[in-house]
Structure 1
């Protein structure tokens, strides 16, 4: 029975989905990725600050385009973090409580 579990474990490790999850875990834990996320957060705050002042229409259009780009970036970021997570049922709950049954 022990050899059977080892064989099943070996098959599980070599699945392509497991390799993808490992790759997403590497991206999620990469310091450059983390610093880039922080930079985007700061940039987003600056864009919001710019929008509080009267600005020309061309700059207003640019800030709208940048807002959409930032939103898409954060969508990609959350997908990476979700796909990297092993415990997907507790992903959205910082207390670790299971929300999905």
Structure 2
């Protein structure tokens, strides 16, 4: 797949999820998907690595509480990156 193809798959996944079509969003996940969430798993259930069965369970719960999907706008973003790598790539010295 090209980068454009990959981007289209990701956009379809999130559009399906936003529209409340959890089944369509899940259908775009590979059988060997690893879904990672930041945080401590003992404090936050979505933290850590999750296989497809766990992702299905997690996203299905979200679909249950938001059956009509989600209509939001981004208010704030935060970027996380490996600083040493970012310096190598982004530095303009």
Higher strand fraction: Structure 1 or Structure 2?
2
Structure (1 or 2) with the greater helix fraction: 1
Normalization by structure 1: what TM-score? 0.23
Larger RCO: 1 or 2 (CA < 8 Å, sep 6+): 1
Which structure has the bigger radius of gyration? Answer: 1
